[in-house]
Structure 1
Amino acid sequence: MADLIPQLRGTLPAVLQDAGEDASDRVIEFFTAEIRNENTREAYGRAVRRFFRWAAHRQLDLSDIEPVHVAAYVEEDDRAPATVKQNLAALRRLFDFLVTGQVLEANPAEPVRSPKLQTDNGKTPALTAEEARELLNSIVAEKQELPQLRDRAIIGVMTYTFARVSAVVGLDVGDYFRAGHRWKIRLREKGGQRRTVPVHHKAKEYLDAYINEAGIREDREAPLFQSLRGRTGELTGRRLQPDNALQMVKRRAEDAGFDPAQISCHTFRATGITTYLENDGDLETAQHIAGHASANTTRIYDRREDHVDQEEIERVRI
């Protein structure tokens, strides 16, 4: 490892290299020892490189950086609010590590406020396709065991079907079924509403991996998503509750480097719909896929949600 450190120093942004070996070594320690998740490490690495390129263009040394500089950087960042928040979280954590290592006296990112995660159309934050993909991939980055496969499948189904968490955890094994050459999911939404949608190929991949590992494919009346037994990670046979799914989502988001306070189960409903529309999906079709209510009472008899084309589902390109 001692031979590797000089090589790693040379890969750091110039501002960090110029700050001296103590600073460089502390940054290397942060990325090798403090950040253990590979996807988080990559995400934080991109955030740190981007910020210090910005600082170098303004001829700032590490010791020169103050809250006003970090605030200016955040203000100039025109990417999605969720991405900006994630980048700021990475900087806060790195600077904290430099403070505890006595490289810096104070964390310049700590006082800087994150952008609000909301759009003109509502308060539910939506991840970008890249962010959603990063989160889903991070869950199975280190292990592909039953807990990881279950959690990825839950988030994947919420994202690709636009379903509420209550409908997803309410699924039985038999609600995921084959109809001709297609696979479909039968959802029970609030108010007793039922809808059947085709399964996106990525959601099918996630579901099959989980069901095969769990060995529950033939137990069609059993809850599809079940709670886990202690540290063994075995299924209990009991249905996972929405509150427990929310705790899982926040834990997985934090592990992937996102701010868990800004992520909820509804985030993935908003993410799926937004990505669908961004890829030229039809707004009215999105309404049917999501099971949204309409003021028009004739929609009670509208059965288009039962005939959504597979091509429409595949517009959710995550």
Structure 2
Amino acid sequence: MHLETTTNKHGRPFQRKTINAYVNAGKALSAWMTQAGVERPFTACDVQLLNRFFRWWYETKDVPKSQDGNGGYTGGVNTTQRNLRALFLYMAEEYDHLNPYLDPKFHRYAAPQLGKPKTLSEEFVNDCLEITGNGSPKVRDFQTVRDHAMIRVLTEGLRSDELLNLRVQDLDLPGHTLVVVPLKGDRNSTDGRVIPLQPKTVKALTRYLRVRTDHVLGNPENPNASPLLWLGTRSRRPLRYMALYRMVKKRAAEAGYDPTEVSPHSFCHTWADDLLTAGISGENVMAVRGWKSPAMLRRYGADMASQRAVNAVHSLGDRY
């Protein structure tokens, strides 16, 4: 309740996903305390007890993700420490509890060093597009047309949350653009990021909108029609992340690739490499992607940075 009635450091409401992460971290601490025989409220947590908890977490749960595609760690202790900070800030404010995070003996765990993200090959993307009909007007199956359009939009560099939160009204197909409603720090802004679309993406979205009207939630005459762009099949609800995740894995396998090597986020790194390889300036890439720090540009372009540098030098030909 506290998080739902307060704002974050930017003065904006907390996202539901953030609230859930903070609550789950508190539940994990409570479960560990019970297991450790500490049958007292959170006010019993001093720096020694928290250090024991985080050491336990590090030794039992801080393991690499196997099929995430984003790098990172499942249950990372650094993330858990950040998520629990809100609890102890609240306790210090409401109960005058000494915040263990301010104690010089508090053991802080650094974020894991992430490896280079993998860039998808041109062959992989083309094969996935082909397996979903390759944009043929003869393909009218809802799921195939939808999946093709989604893969096309993924190649435009959208994050999973951004893609799944697209509304029909966010599309400007005559202008070959769509607008991404801000989801994080700027999500209360009236302005979204304008995403330029490839001509084939516009065609794929046009065909998807056509078959979408046959869906119960896409029928404009249905008073309960969903404003969200992507609709599910079995559940007859707007698409959720796991459906997107499974779709990407399924289409990769059908195209003859190892599905563990790809995730929806893989397309973001591939998009960055595509634009940088084409000579688009880093400033423009950052503007389209909504990055405020060049560190993100370096990370997303890291996988193929050496190859781009070699190609750039070769393009100069003989210099002497």
TM-score, scaled relative to structure 1: 0.48
Q: Which structure shows the higher helix fraction? A: 1
